[in-house]
Amino acid sequence: MLFRKKIWKKMSQDECIIKLENVSKDLKKKRVLSDISASFYKGKVYGFIGSNGSGKTMLLRAIAGLLYINKGTVDRIDPAPTMGVIIENPGFLISYTGYENLQMLAAIRNIIGEKEIQTTLLQVGLDPKDRRKVKEYSLGMKQRLAVAQAIMENPDVLILDEPFRGLDVEGVKTIRTLLEAYNRAGGTIFLSSHDPEDISLLCHHVYMMQEGKMTQMK
């Protein structure tokens, strides 16, 4: 896929697009995010590592605007950046094909057509003409489809929670190459992964999450 170069009016490469200030979240009487502050900039790739339950997914939800926080603020540039998101398991309609699912999602904003959908599916390693329903997909195929729905409209920001989960070696290579191309075109990525190699190869900045607290590692 040839991603369109990102153009941010009156905005330099080193300008903040998302800022967290003292963000905290309590869930079921447990603090899952604890007093997190950070500034994130256009065109960078941010990696988040940590064990299950460390707060990685909750933090990505907060950045995406999908989480009510108990304390602090999440500020975005105006106008707010468009986002492509994978968090946990995307809710595809399993009785439809992957192509049909993307058609329905694309119809919401109506900014891309069938050509872009077909190209995106090919780029993630799926066949646009495959008539199998999503319920017949392997875990790896579902993950490729999830990446396709996140990138197909060429958003300003990608927020990807474990995007390589379930992929074989070739699939990891395919998606990694795609994300590198997206970033070269000016896209900003927030990425969590259990695999240190994914983080080291893709990310400009790396944060460790532990018991809801965030520490910058790189």
What DSSP character marks residue 52?
T
83-86: strand order across its sheet: 83-86, 157-161, 188-192, 45-49, 205-210, 213-216
Q: Is residue 74 part of a domain?
A: yes
Per-residue model confidence (pLDDT) at position 65: 94
Answer whether 26's CB lies under 8 Å from 32's CB: yes
Answer whether 72's CB lies under 8 Å from 20's CB: yes
Q: Is residue 202 part of a domain?
A: yes
Give the span between the Cα atoms of 8 and 76, in whole angstroms.
Answer: 13
What is the span of the domain harbouring residue 52? 13-81+188-218
Q: Is residue 56 part of a domain?
A: yes
Q: Is residue 125 part of a domain?
A: no
Q: Is residue 37 part of a domain?
A: yes
Predicted confidence (pLDDT) per residue in 120-140, tens digit: 999 999 999 999 999 999 999
The mean pLDDT of 89-114, rounded to a whole number, is: 94
Q: Is residue 63 part of a domain?
A: yes
pLDDT: which is higher, 218 or 68: 68
Query: Which CATH number do you get for residue 25?
Result: 3.40.50.300
Q: Is residue 112 part of a domain?
A: no
Give the span between the Cα atoms of 191 and 116, in whole angstroms.
Answer: 24
Answer whether 196's CB lies under 8 Å from 205's CB: no
Closest by CA position to 64, among listed 33, 91, 94, 86: 86
Q: Is residue 2 part of a domain?
A: no
| Domain count across the chain | 1
Per-residue model confidence (pLDDT) at position 191: 95
Predicted confidence (pLDDT) per residue in 14-29, tens digit: 789 999 999 999 998 8
> Within a 10 A sphere around the Cβ of 29, how many other Cβ atoms?
5
Per-residue model confidence (pLDDT) at position 192: 94
